[in-house]
Amino acid sequence: MKLICPECGAEIILEDKPVENEIVECSECGAQLVVKQVNPEIILEVLEDIGEDWGE
Ligand SMILES: [Zn+2]
């Protein structure tokens, strides 16, 4: 199935239907995308870099 990267608009091809909270990576821009929702349609959201301290 095909998804659209919300970051760069490239097509992301997946062999299987994703599940909620699955992380997929866009091969075009390298963005990490989390599957927020699968029904009634699949919604992807860009995963922010968390867990790394950029401020120090
Ligand atoms: Zn992308």
At residue 48, the pLDDT reads 79
> pLDDT for 20-41, tens place per residue?
999 999 999 999 999 999 999 9
Number of domains comprising the chain: 1
- Please tell me whether the overall predicted TM-score, pTM, comes out greater than 0.75 for this model: yes
Angle ∠(36,52,44) on CA atoms, nearest 5: 15
Establish if 51 belongs to a structural domain: no
**Interval between CA 34 and ligand 1 midpoint (Å):** 12
Give yes or no for a contact between 19 and 44, defined as CB atoms under 8 angstroms apart. Answer: no
| CATH code: domain of residue 41 | 2.20.28.160
The secondary structure of residue 34, as a DSSP letter, is E
Which long-range contacts does 32-38 make (Cβ < 8 Å, 24+ apart)?
Answer: 33/5, 33/6, 33/7
* pLDDT > 70 in the chain, percent: 88
Establish if 26 belongs to a structural domain: yes
**Interval between CA 44 and ligand 1 midpoint (Å):** 11
Establish if 55 belongs to a structural domain: no
- Domain of 32 in residue numbering reads as 2-46
> What is the Cα–Cα distance from 33 to 11, expressed in whole angstroms?
13
Establish if 30 belongs to a structural domain: yes
Establish if 31 belongs to a structural domain: yes
